[in-house]
Amino acid sequence: MTTVLALDIGGTKTTAALVDLEGDTARVRHHLTGPTPAAAGPDAVLDHAISLAREVRGKESVAALGVASAGVVTAVGTISHATSALPGWAGTDLVGTFTHRLDIPVAALNDVHGHAVGEARYGAGRGAHSILLVAIGTGIGAAHVIGGQPVVGVRGAAGHVGHLPVPEAQDIPCPCGRSGHLEGLASGPGILALAARFGVRDDAGPVTDGVRLAALARERSTAAAEAYRVAGFATGRTIGGALNLLDVERVILTGGVAAVGEPWRGAVLQGIEHEAMDVVSQTEVTTATAGTHAALLGAAAWAVDLIEEQGAQ
């Protein structure tokens, strides 16, 4: 058994964990989570993550540290681009900082890539040679995993399906600064905006909470259900196009929007059927099963892979 220290750094919270890896199994033995001090800047975020990591580690002997982080993570473990969720995060040297301050080997990757590795190896992707994980929540991202390894791209930026154009999003601003992208329409905030345009209200006025909107869609509001159907269909069209390009064995849906279920999920499947060529139209579509620690599991596995690769050289 190999024990690895893992970090999952997001704009809202940071989690540190001890992960035990043995064969094709992995488990989080101990973890701590705290709010990410994003507004205080990158140094504060790093200090907080290191404090959590040290507390979780204690006197435990660990083989490495695996880091799953928001932002685009380069091959050398630096952040090249990041959203406003982590102000000033671009330019942060994850591998250099953690190696120096924790004195252990470090490997870092994007959080969605880490999530996908966790699902591919220990969750809903078990038994599949290739998967496409699509995460739909505050934003929309994806990751392509082949043989347990994420396809991260030459710049570490692969998988931004939320920034593919869809007709339904025409003229809708996207958080990336462009317009007409899937994320502006079909992310959690995008669906709330769509619902507002459709006139969705409850007794207190316009609905500004995704949980409430989902409840309305299931209960009685045809307008709320239509917002989820429009967003789901556009998401499915994008996934169908990705299947035409990638021909993966399995699609895994995850994130807060994916947890809504119907009518969103049915619309996603309709969108896939509309866009995917016949040869890939029957690709299995399932939901994530590795849980909230999937990115930690993936980061830990990624770190062990790096150690083994370096040892073989």
pLDDT exceeds cutoff 90 at 206: no
Angstrom distance (rounded) from CA 153 to CA 49: 26
pLDDT band at residue 202 under the 50/70/90 scheme: confident
Mean pLDDT confidence for 153-176: 94
DSSP 173: B
| Domain assignments of the chain as residue spans, ordered by start | 2-117+292-312, 127-288
pLDDT exceeds cutoff 60 at 98: yes
pLDDT digits (tens, 9 = 90+) for 33-69: 999 999 999 999 999 999 999 999 999 999 999 999 9
Mean pLDDT confidence for 213-233: 91
pLDDT exceeds cutoff 60 at 3: yes
Phi-psi region of 5 (alpha: psi -120 to 50; beta: other; left: phi over 0): beta
**pTM for this prediction:** 0.94
What pLDDT sits at residue 132?
99
What pLDDT sits at residue 313?
52
Write down the CATH number for the domain with range 2-117+292-312.
Answer: 3.30.420.40
**Mean pLDDT for all residues in the chain:** 95
What pLDDT sits at residue 259?
93
Same fold: 2-117+292-312 with 127-288: yes
The edge-to-edge listing of strands for the beta sheet with 106-110 is 25-35, 13-22, 2-9, 65-69, 106-110
3-state secondary structure of 31: strand
User: Which residues, 6+ apart, have CB-to-CB distance to 296 below 8 Å?
Assistant: 6, 7, 8, 15, 17, 19, 28, 31, 66, 68, 114, 118
DSSP 213: H
What pLDDT sits at residue 311?
61
pLDDT above 70: percentage of residues in the chain: 99
Among 3.40.50.1100, 3.40.50.1220, 3.30.420.40, 3.20.20.140, what is the CATH number of 127-288?
3.30.420.40
Look at strands 13-22 and 72-73 and give their pairing: unpaired
The token pair that represents 113 in the structure block:
């890539």
Angstrom distance (rounded) from CA 188 to CA 62: 38
Angstrom distance (rounded) from CA 255 to CA 160: 15
Torsion angle of C-alpha atoms 21, 27, 30, 32, degrees rounded to 10: 110
pLDDT exceeds cutoff 80 at 221: no
Angstrom distance (rounded) from CA 71 to CA 300: 18
pLDDT digits (tens, 9 = 90+) for 75-97: 999 999 998 889 999 999 999 99
